[in-house]
Amino acid sequence: MITIEHLKKTFKKNKVEAVKDVTLEIRDGEIFALLGPNGAGKTTTMRMLSTLLTPTQGTILYDGKPLAEESDSIRRRIAFLTNEIRLDGQFTPDELADYYGGLYEMTPESISANRDKLFDYFGISEFRDRRYETFSTGMKQKTSLAICLLHDPDTIIFDEPTNGLDILTQHLIEAYLVKLKEQGKCIILSTHILDLVARMADRVGIIVDGRSVFCGTVPELPQSQGVSTVEEAFIKLYKENHEEKAIIGRHGKE
């Protein structure tokens, strides 16, 4: 289980407060969707969860262990995938598996077994000797996914996992995420595709302007807002929290 409490991130360089106050709880064996409009702070939260960024304030606990103190051991248990992360284009999928498997201190035997399983599932096997840079977007995404799952992580953090992919690749990836969930793994998705949330997620967290404004199951979301769909609930929450800020701004001016 992952517990996030009053998370805050301010970038020193441009003094932007990307995340102001995020509190969430993510359980094992569930697909958790992190929803929010563009610029709400989803990616920054995901990057903090994956150890790529250090929070300015607040705590992240993985099974009760603080991420700040146990980052090395926690890194062995998590996988993070985003469109922004690329793999070395000169390497073939086989070489990438060998490279990253080695960095995760995997034995050659376990690298070989996990690689073959993942490559077969994602249809990479026949391209395993081709350079990554020559692949299409979808094939690159599938290879990245296979490589980041190579070390068999407990927690999988995906930032916009199916963004820009064709429908077949989307289905393939979504099916695999469900399979991982059934294995008891925790999957955190960051997305603004509400349909994906409704179809796949067990629980949802909503971030507006760097603050978490909702955390609960998918059915609870419309109920809590007194509306009938996830989309309506999301828009309502967004307007309430975004407008509140605008009103404060006006009062501040006065």
Partner 1 sequence: MSKQHIRHVMRSEWRKTKKTPAQLLMMLIVPVVSVLFLSWCMCYVRVMVDKYHASVYLPDEKTADEIGAYLDEYYPYFDFVTGPVEEAEERLHEGKIDCALVVDNTSVRILYDSSVLTSSVALKDANDCANDLVYLLEGENYLLEAYDLYPESKPIDLSTDEEKLVNYFDQMAGLIGMILFLMMASNAMTLAAKTITGEKERQTFDSLVLCPAPLPKILLGKELVLMIEVFLSGLAGLIAAIAGMAIWYPDEFAMVRSAAGREPIWFLVILILLLTVTLVITGIFSIIGSAFAQAKKASLFSSAGMVLVSVAAILPNFIDKNLVRYIPVANWTPIIKHMGKNQIDLLPLLTALFAAAIIAGICMILSCGLWERTSE
Closer Cβ to partner 1, 46 or 233, answer by number: 46
Closer Cβ to partner 1, 106 or 180, answer by number: 106
What the block records as the tokens of 199 is: 């179809």
Q: CB-based contacts of 38: which residues, under 8 Å, 6+ apart?
A: 192
Q: How far apart are CA 216 and CA 25, in angstroms?
A: 9
- Among the listed ranges 96-104, 115-123, 179-187, 212-220, the one in contact with partner 1 (CB under 8 A) is 96-104
Which residues 169-208 are close enough to bind partner 1 by CB under 8 A? none
User: If phi over 0 gives left and psi between -120 and 50 gives alpha, with beta otherwise, what is residue 119?
Assistant: alpha
* DSSP three-state, residue 73: helix
Q: Does 163 bind partner 1 (CB under 8 A)?
A: no
What the block records as the tokens of 134 is: 């020559």
Q: How far apart are CA 222 and CA 231, in angstroms?
A: 8
Closer Cβ to partner 1, 135 or 238, answer by number: 135
Contact 122, 171 (CB under 8 A): no
Which residues 63-92 are close enough to bind partner 1 by CB under 8 A? 72-73, 75-76, 78-80, 82, 84-91
Closer Cβ to partner 1, 9 or 211, answer by number: 9
Q: How far apart are CA 3 and CA 17, in angstroms?
A: 21
Q: Does 107 bind partner 1 (CB under 8 A)?
A: no
- Figure out which of the listed residues 51, 112, 125, 224 binds partner 1, where binding follows CB under 8 A: 51
In degrees and rounded to multiples of 5, residue 17 shows phi and psi of -95, 90
Closer Cβ to partner 1, 7 or 87, answer by number: 87
**Overall size of the chain counted in residues:** 254
- Figure out which of the listed residues 100, 119, 135, 214 binds partner 1, where binding follows CB under 8 A: 100
Q: Does 102 bind partner 1 (CB under 8 A)?
A: yes
User: Footprint of partner 1 on this chain (CB under 8 A)?
Assistant: 11-13, 50-54, 72-73, 75-76, 78-80, 82, 84-91, 95, 98-100, 102-105, 148
